[in-house]
A and B are shown apart, each in its own frame.
Chain A
Amino acid sequence: MRRSGGSSENRAIRVEVRLYGEAARVVRKERFISELSEGSIVRDAVEDLCGAYPAVAEHLLTENGDVRPAVNLLLNGRPVRSIAGLETRLEDGDRLFVLHAYGGG
């Protein structure tokens, strides 16, 4: 379990990470459960995913650790860039969507 914020007695939270397109192909998986401590942020879930599947890191993050411009991270349907980006706090049961371009016509 990854920890965040240095607190030692955090309870666990579970975040479902859903992957689409390229990211899903790389990890050969569409769902990943990230178990994190309370107070964790989106960056922790992304690092947890990249720790479990190192090959996905280069698809999602730049060398500086920022999210690549072509990647969308949606937390429960909202883009995290409209909340607090990678610093956005996670709650138990949250769903984090990792996808490239999406839309319809």
Chain B
Amino acid sequence: MRCANEQVVLHVDLSYRKMWHEIVPEMVVRRFLGGRGIGDWLLWRDLKPGVDPLGPDNPLIFSAGALLGTAAPTAGRATILCRSPLTGFYLKTGAGGRFGAALRFAGVDHIAVRGVSEAPVVLWIEPGSTEIRDASELWGAGVRETHRRLQEDCEDSIETACIGPAGEHRVRYANVMLSVYHSASRGGAGAVMGSKGLKAVVARPGRGSIGVMDPEGFHLASDRARANLLEDPMANNLYHYGTAGDVTVFNDIRRLPSKNWQVAHIEDEEAESLGGRSWEEAGYLKRRRGCSACSIHCHRFTEVGDGPYGGTASGGPQLATVTRGGPNCGVGNVEAVFRFNELCNDLGLDAISTGSSIAWLMETYERGLISSEQADGIEPVWGSEEALLGLTGRIAHRQGIGDLLADETLAASQRVGGDSWQWAVQAKGMSPSGVAMQSALGYALAFAVNPRGPDHLHTETIAEFGATPQAREVIQRITGDERYAVSDIVDKRGEIVRWHEDIYAVTDALGLCAFTTTCAYGIDEGLLAKLFATATGVPMSSEEIMTAGRRMMTLERAINLREGLTRADDTLPWRIMNEPNHDLTGVEDPIVSRAKLDRMLDAYYDLHGWDRERGAPAPQTLRELDLEFALDG
């Protein structure tokens, strides 16, 4: 049995076919905890600034959270880190499933892959052995087939992290699929994996297990967390309806960014069928599923019985997939969206960037900057299911027009020209998650400063809506007044974002699901510290653990500054900042103006102890966070 406090890095050089192990020093574990935290530390150390994200020198790091393999609720998240080929900046992307826990059972907590293999390979890890195996026959296969064929090679159950054709073709937003249906979606980690010729990492858990240092204390803390989650209304919603449960609500209140963010709603009936609340009655929902040790079970497995999309079956879809492939492209047929989800999962594509790139093309076509001939004969009109699904396949293989879209909207608009950059709804080169930022200013600020791009899975400030008593209590704790649990005001957004950053980073580092800390609120700072301390034996207070979160955010900032990030990169899509969206009802000022964003940025940098010019941490800030090693960049 291994103990939760052990942190072993497996280094793999694919160019030279060399492997070696490194034990993470206890001081580093104390400061960076595990998962994303140790991944940040490795990335800072091993990534040289300015390297080609798709070249041999970009380290690709897989990190299992510090509590994976234990019974801590939702301890199933693994993080993948590298320099993003989409943004050129820091990337961490994570997913649940069972891969991360299996990796630890197999004896490895982190993998740092560098180099490039001449022929496709699989990295096979099991207790006591690691091997680089040939994968030439798997190249070109979809995710499900890849997993199935790898499983055929082994009598025991295995877990995989693999890429589909999109990663092989270096689509800049190719994902990595964990345990077949869990997507580490954003920023193109799949393209980095593809560039290294690494088709899959296999973890064969064997009979491995992870022991904790103080079993009684650990189980008390875990039970407390589970009991809190049982009472939390958001956790309840996630179980019953999944993440896509409230599409109808967002539509009714006109907060569903649609048609490439031009409007904020679609037809009521379409929203009704797209929303997860209706899937059970309609017969689509086959199973509710959970990641390792999960007590919430937000994951779905859906199937379409008959009709043109009959036979479609996959894990999900999640809210982001539904809204970016559906309403953002004007598509209201839920069965087409299920197919879109299946394609993204199997081809290995981030559904947000895929749907957003297609929506950009639809608007570009509508405005006459691209013809049907240029789009390979496809007519990319709003609501065209044929366009949505046909383009998704072309993107994954970089076929024809798919090659243009495979680099995302900013790069595509630079090639097409004209004003098409204005409706390339992106920042840092990445399309945002489908949150109406104009009326959710905590999200707006968090998206602008997010080191990986404008996305909700790094800092999710859902509490600012104040939609549950628990959420309002969180805002009360952060700001001293629950009246700040209103999303369309500027005041206190800096404080709200910073607290969410810290706790999200800790949640990632421990390998827990963010739904336990920043959506449902079953695990607070104190419980995080207790879970970590009782599992690892490393003493930890709630203040210390939140400081560890801050340390991660600050080091991520330092990595980005080293890559040339400036304040100008901490921004939002042009459309959000310049085109008032009057479809958003009840919003006095339906843009996030430059002045509004600047006010929030100044307050946020000040809170962090970063200068206002670049958002660079002051030397004093770095010292206070024990980040002296980052002083010289």
Choose one: A18, A20, A100, A103; the contact of B462 (CB below 8 Å): A103
Whether A41 sits at the interface, judged by CB under 8 Å, is no
- Stretch from B71-79, B465-473, B606-614 that touches the partner: B465-473
Please tell me if the beta carbons of B246 and A97 are within 8 angstroms of each other in the complex: no
Q: How distant is the Cα of A97 from the Cα of B468 in the complex, in angstroms?
A: 15
Q: How distant is the Cα of A99 from the Cα of B245 in the complex, in angstroms?
A: 13
Return the CB mask of A42-86 against B: 1 if under 8 Å, else 0. Answer: 000000000000000000000000000110101111110110000
Q: How distant is the Cα of A75 from the Cα of B586 in the complex, in angstroms?
A: 7
Whether B236 sits at the interface, judged by CB under 8 Å, is yes
Query: Contacts A77-B439, A78-B488, A79-B466 hold; do A102 and B252 have CB atoms under 8 A apart?
Result: no
Q: How distant is the Cα of A77 from the Cα of B238 in the complex, in angstroms?
A: 22
Whether B228 sits at the interface, judged by CB under 8 Å, is no
Whether B519 sits at the interface, judged by CB under 8 Å, is yes
Taking CB atoms, residues of chain B closer than 8 Å to A79 are 465-466, 486
Taking CB atoms, residues of chain A closer than 8 Å to B249 are 20, 97, 99, 102
Whether B271 sits at the interface, judged by CB under 8 Å, is no
Choose one: B244, B468, B514, B584; the contact of A104 (CB below 8 Å): B244
Return the CB mask of B248-263 against A: 1 if under 8 Å, else 0. Answer: 1110111100000000
Please tell me if the beta carbons of A104 and B243 are within 8 angstroms of each other in the complex: yes
Query: Contacts A70-B233, A77-B586, A97-B249 hold; do A103 and B486 have CB atoms under 8 A apart?
Result: no
Taking CB atoms, residues of chain A closer than 8 Å to B318 are 105
Most chain A Cβ neighbours within 10 Å, of B252, B255, B319, B486: B252
Whether A101 sits at the interface, judged by CB under 8 Å, is yes
Taking CB atoms, residues of chain B closer than 8 Å to A77 are 253-255, 439, 584-587
Please tell me if the beta carbons of A103 and B467 are within 8 angstroms of each other in the complex: yes
In chain B between 253 and 282, which residues have their CB closer than 8 angstroms to a CB of chain A?
A: 253-255
CB-based nearest A residue for B460: A105
Number of A interface residues, CB 8 Å? 22
Whether B237 sits at the interface, judged by CB under 8 Å, is yes
Most chain B Cβ neighbours within 10 Å, of A69, A70, A76, A104: A104
Taking CB atoms, residues of chain A closer than 8 Å to B585 are 76-77, 95
Please tell me if the beta carbons of B252 and A97 are within 8 angstroms of each other in the complex: yes
Q: How distant is the Cα of A103 from the Cα of B246 in the complex, in angstroms?
A: 6
Taking CB atoms, residues of chain A closer than 8 Å to B489 are 82
Choose one: A70, A74, A81, A104; the contact of B253 (CB below 8 Å): A74
Question: How many residue pairs at the A-B interface have CB separations less than 8 Å?
Answer: 80
Instruction: State the Cβ distance, A40 to closest chain B Cβ, in Å.
Output: 18
Whether B441 sits at the interface, judged by CB under 8 Å, is no
Taking CB atoms, residues of chain A closer than 8 Å to B255 are 77
Taking CB atoms, residues of chain A closer than 8 Å to B298 are 105
CB-based nearest B residue for A20: B249
Query: Contacts A77-B439, A78-B586 hold; do A105 and B467 have CB atoms under 8 A apart?
Result: no
Return the CB mask of B26-53 against A: 1 if under 8 Å, else 0. Answer: 0000000000000000000000000000
Taking CB atoms, residues of chain B closer than 8 Å to A76 are 253-254, 585-586
Most chain B Cβ neighbours within 10 Å, of A97, A101, A102: A101
CB-based nearest B residue for A78: B586
Please tell me if the beta carbons of A102 and B469 are within 8 angstroms of each other in the complex: no
Taking CB atoms, residues of chain A closer than 8 Å to B62 are none
Q: How distant is the Cα of A100 from the Cα of B233 in the complex, in angstroms?
A: 8
Please tell me if the beta carbons of B254 and A103 are within 8 angstroms of each other in the complex: no
Q: How distant is the Cα of A82 from the Cα of B482 in the complex, in angstroms?
A: 10
Whether B515 sits at the interface, judged by CB under 8 Å, is yes
Whether B162 sits at the interface, judged by CB under 8 Å, is no
Whether B234 sits at the interface, judged by CB under 8 Å, is yes
Q: How distant is the Cα of A18 from the Cα of B585 in the complex, in angstroms?
A: 15
Q: How distant is the Cα of A77 from the Cα of B255 in the complex, in angstroms?
A: 8
Taking CB atoms, residues of chain A closer than 8 Å to B244 are 104
Taking CB atoms, residues of chain A closer than 8 Å to B488 are 78, 82
In chain B between 313 and 333, which residues have their CB closer than 8 angstroms to a CB of chain A?
A: 318-319
Taking CB atoms, residues of chain B closer than 8 Å to A81 are 466, 483, 486
In chain B between 461 and 492, which residues have their CB closer than 8 angstroms to a CB of chain A?
A: 462, 465-469, 472, 483, 486, 488-489
Instruction: State the Cβ distance, A72 to closest chain B Cβ, in Å.
Output: 6
Taking CB atoms, residues of chain A closer than 8 Å to B250 are 104
Query: Contacts A74-B253, A77-B254, A77-B586 hold; do A101 and B237 have CB atoms under 8 A apart?
Result: yes
Q: How distant is the Cα of A77 from the Cα of B582 in the complex, in angstroms?
A: 13
CB-based nearest A residue for B264: A77
Choose one: A95, A100, A103; the contact of B465 (CB below 8 Å): A103
Please tell me if the beta carbons of B469 and A103 are within 8 angstroms of each other in the complex: no
CB-based nearest A residue for B434: A104
Q: How distant is the Cα of A102 from the Cα of B255 in the complex, in angstroms?
A: 13
Taking CB atoms, residues of chain B closer than 8 Å to A99 are 249
Choose one: B237, B252, B472, B514; the contact of A103 (CB below 8 Å): B237
Q: How distant is the Cα of A19 from the Cα of B454 in the complex, in angstroms?
A: 32
Q: How distant is the Cα of A70 from the Cα of B460 in the complex, in angstroms?
A: 21
Return the CB mask of B548-591 against A: 1 if under 8 Å, else 0. Answer: 00000000000000000000000000000000000011110000
CB-based nearest A residue for B466: A79
Instruction: State the Cβ distance, B28 to closest chain A Cβ, in Å.
Output: 31
Q: How distant is the Cα of A75 from the Cα of B254 in the complex, in angstroms?
A: 12
Q: How distant is the Cα of A101 from the Cα of B519 in the complex, in angstroms?
A: 10
Please tell me if the beta carbons of B253 and A105 are within 8 angstroms of each other in the complex: no
Q: How distant is the Cα of A18 from the Cα of B298 in the complex, in angstroms?
A: 26
Please tell me if the beta carbons of A104 and B252 are within 8 angstroms of each other in the complex: no
Taking CB atoms, residues of chain A closer than 8 Å to B462 are 103
Q: How distant is the Cα of A18 from the Cα of B254 in the complex, in angstroms?
A: 13
Taking CB atoms, residues of chain A closer than 8 Å to B236 are 101
Please tell me if the beta carbons of B439 and A102 are within 8 angstroms of each other in the complex: no
Instruction: State the Cβ distance, A28 to closest chain B Cβ, in Å.
Output: 15
Additional 14 contacts, C-beta under 8 A, given A77-B439, A95-B585, A104-B319: A76-B254, A77-B255, A77-B584, A77-B585, A78-B486, A81-B483, A82-B483, A97-B252, A101-B237, A102-B237, A102-B246, A102-B249, A104-B250, A105-B318
Closest 10 CB pairs of A and B: A76-B586, A101-B233, A105-B243, A77-B253, A77-B586, A82-B486, A104-B319, A78-B586, A69-B469, A76-B585
Q: List 9 A-B contacts (CB under 8 A).
A: A69-B472, A75-B586, A77-B253, A81-B466, A82-B486, A95-B252, A104-B243, A104-B319, A105-B319
